[in-house]
Structure 1
């Protein structure tokens, strides 16, 4: 089973940034190790917003040290590209123009204005396994943890 970690940027990355980050992600996944042994890992950028790290736990599970190395790597991405990846109060949703991201107060304003409603699709970046990407990552606002936060 593949364990995943999803990190969401606080802004949509440019095409150029996305290309560069994708190269860096592939290089990181290639060398990512647990206790000196390679992990069966991959990494990708989706929608110029989400970094998804994956580890096949049937081969070897990531441990504290390997997770720490991924955090250090991602902190480097933040610094290099002037982006925040660890702010969990940034919310991504599907708008008429595609995927959008907004901070908590912006999300509240959009709710109050009716631009986001119970049927708006939001991204749940707390999922932990790859199979959840298909059925639990993008869910209607009314079925998300976001709803409890804004109730």
Structure 2
């Protein structure tokens, strides 16, 4: 099984930031270990907003220490780029033109009330844990998401 962690930033990266973040992610992943064993992992930036880590646990299993290392690394990215990856108060969705929008929860609620966000609006399900789910369960209609239960 390939396990994933999806971190949504609190703002869209510039193209230059995406390149720089990806370079640092590559360096981190190449040295990422669990109890001394190299992890078969990769990291990538998606839509200049999401940082995704993936590990093939059939090669070597992830441990609490290896997860701590990744969190420490992400916190270093936050400081270096003045970006937050642990702000759960922002919601990403696709607008009518399919562009990604990032708003805070109160604004998202208002968009629902006004009908701009509706049952078919695509939202991002960042709580996935398996890489096989990315294609079919990451960008999903609002009505099928955890968001619909909260808002």
Deviates more, 1:103-112 or 1:54-63: 103-112
* Residue 29 of structure 1: how far off its partner (Å): 0.8
Could you give the per-residue CA deviations for residues 47-101 of structure 1, whole angstroms, max 9, x where no partner exists? Answer: 0000000000000111000000000000011111111101122111111251111
Question: Residues 1-150 of structure 1 correspond to what in structure 2 (within 5 A)?
Answer: 1-95=1-95, 96=97, 98-150=99-151
CA RMSD of aligned residues (A): 0.9
Whole-Å separation in 1 of the counterparts to 2:136 and 2:62: 24
Q: Secondary structure at the match of 1:7?
A: strand
Whole-Å separation in 1 of the counterparts to 2:129 and 2:76: 23
Deviates more, 1:45-54 or 1:97-106: 97-106
Q: Secondary structure at the match of 2:131?
A: coil
Could you give the per-residue CA deviations for residues 97-149 of structure 1, whole angstroms, max 9, x where no partner exists? Answer: 51111111111121122111110000000000000001111110011000010
Whole-Å separation in 1 of the counterparts to 2:134 and 2:98: 21
Could you give the per-residue CA deviations for residues 28-47 of structure 1, whole angstroms, max 9, x where no partner exists? Answer: 11110001111000000000
Whole-Å separation in 1 of the counterparts to 2:2 and 2:36: 20
Equivalent residue pairs, number: 150
TM-score, normalised by the number of residues in structure 1: 0.96
Q: Secondary structure at the match of 1:84?
A: coil
